[in-house]
Chain A
Amino acid sequence: MKKIGKQTIKFDNPPTILECSSIVGPKEANGPLAKYFDQTLEDEFWGEKSWEKAESKIIKENANMVISKAGISSQDIDLVFAGDLLNQCISSSFGLRDINLPFFGVFGACSTFVESLSLGSICIESFAKNVLCATSSHFCSAEKQFRFPLELGNQRPPSSQWTVTGSGAAILSKEGIGPYITHITPGKIVDMGIKDANNMGAAMSPAFSDTLITHFKDTGRNPSYYDAIISGDLGYIGKDIAIDILKSNGYNIKANYNDCRGSYF
C-alpha cells in the first residue's frame, strides 16, 4: 500500500469484504431499509435487564452471525476491531468477551465502523488473512449516557438526532472476489464551533465534507465516478449542509449522495 495525495491510502492488494451482517431494533425494522437487515428485534431489551446488556448481546450475536454467514471458523480470524458509543466501549468489550480473539477497541463515535474497516484493511494488506469489524449502538443507552433519562418530559427540537439501535459487522479477507476496499481516506477533526447539542448534523458536516473533498483531490476523481456516496448519520440538515459545502468547493454531489439517517427511519 502507499499514500497518495495528502491523506489517502491506496491498497495494492485490495481486501475483500467477505461477508456482512446486521441486527437492528424495532424502530429501524419499520424503516425503508427493513428488508436488508439480517435480524430485527421486537423490543430494545431483547430479554436483558439493562440497555447496556442488550447492546452487548446485539453485537455478540451479530459477530457470531457474520462469522457463520462467511462460512469460516472464528479461529480463522486474525483480529477484531470493534467499538460503540459507551464509556470504555463496554458494549463491544463485554459483548465480544467470548469470541477469544485479539481485540482492538475503537472509539470513533459515528465514524467507528468505517474506522474499523480502515484499520482492518491496513492489517489485511500487511499481515492478516481475515479481520472482523463490528460496531453497535443503542438509542436508550446513548440517551442515558449522553443526554437525558428516557422518561424525562422534555421536548426535542426538529434538528435533534436519533441514535440507531443496532449493530453492523463485516469480515475482511485477503482473498476474495470483492467488493473490494481499494482506498481509504482517514479524515481530520474539523471543529467549526457548533455548540448546540441538539444539532449534531451541523457539527459533523464540515468534517465529512473536508474528508470527501480531500479524497476527491487525492485520487483525482469526481463525484460522478461513484455510483453512490453515502454518509453515516448527518441527518437531513447535515446532508443539506454537506451538499452546500461541496458545491462551494466545486463538487456537485447532489445526484448520487445520500445519508443513512435519511434512509434508516
Chain B
Amino acid sequence: MDINWANVFDLATLFKCFLIGGAICIIGQILIDKTKLTPARILVIFVTTGCVLGGLGIYQYLVDFAGCGATVPLTGFGYNLAKGVIEAVKESGLIGAFTGGVKAAAGGIAAAIFFGYLASLISKPKMKKQ
C-alpha cells in the first residue's frame, strides 16, 4: 500500500474540516430550532446558497480552507453543481449551463437513487420511539 497515512490523518486538515463542517451544521440547527422551516426547506436554502456562492467564487475560499468541511454539507453539493456548470459553460457555452450541474452531481444522485431502491427491497420502516 503506497498510502502516506501521515497525510491522510493530517491533524491540521482534519481539524479545520471538523470546525467548518460543524459550524455549517450549527447554522442549520438554529434554523431548525428558531424557525418553523421544515427539513426540505432548510435543505433547499442550503443547496441554493452553496450554488450561488459557488457561482460567485466565494465558496471556493471555504473549500480551499476546510476541504470536506465545506464540500460534505449540502452547501457543498450546491457548490459542486455551480462548479460543474461553470466548467461546462467554459467548454460548451450555453449547453454547458444545462449539462454541467447534473454531470457534476451525477455520482451522488445516482447513488442516492440506487441505494434508496435497494434499501426499500431489504428493509421495512419501524415505529418511532418517543
Contact = CB atoms under 8 A, between A and B. Distances in A.
Interface string A180-220: 00000000000000011110000000000000000000000
A247 to B, nearest CB: 28
Contact of B127 (A140, A154, A196): A140
Residue with the greatest number of chain A CB neighbours at <10 A, chosen from B32, B125, B127, B128: B127
Contact of B125 (A140, A154, A157, A198): A140
Nearest to B33: A157
B39 A154 contact: yes
Contacts of B126: 150-151
A38 interface: no
B26 to A, nearest CB: 14
Contacts of A155: 32
Given A152-B39, A195-B36, A196-B36, A43 B125 contact: no
Given A162-B130, A265-B130, A150 B36 contact: no
Contacts of A154: 39
11 contacts: A25-B127, A43-B127, A139-B127, A140-B125, A149-B125, A150-B126, A151-B125, A151-B126, A154-B39, A162-B130, A197-B36
Interface string A12-51: 0000000000000111000000000000000110000000
A155 to B, nearest CB: 6
Interface of A: 25-27, 43-44, 139-140, 143, 148-152, 154-155, 157, 162, 195-198, 265
Contacts of A151: 125-126
A162 B126 CA distance: 15
Contacts of A143: 128
Contacts of B125: 140, 149-151
Interface of B: 32-33, 36, 38-39, 125-128, 130
Contacts of A196: 36
Nearest to A147: B38
Given A27-B130, A139-B127, A155-B32, 17 more contacts: A25-B127, A27-B127, A43-B127, A44-B127, A139-B128, A140-B125, A140-B127, A150-B125, A150-B126, A150-B128, A151-B125, A151-B126, A162-B130, A195-B36, A196-B36, A197-B36, A265-B130
A185 to B, nearest CB: 33
A27 B36 CA distance: 28
What 4 A-B pairs come out closest when comparing CB atoms? A150-B125, A44-B127, A154-B39, A151-B125
A114 B17 CA distance: 57
A198 B37 CA distance: 11
B70 to A, nearest CB: 22
Contacts of B130: 27, 162, 265
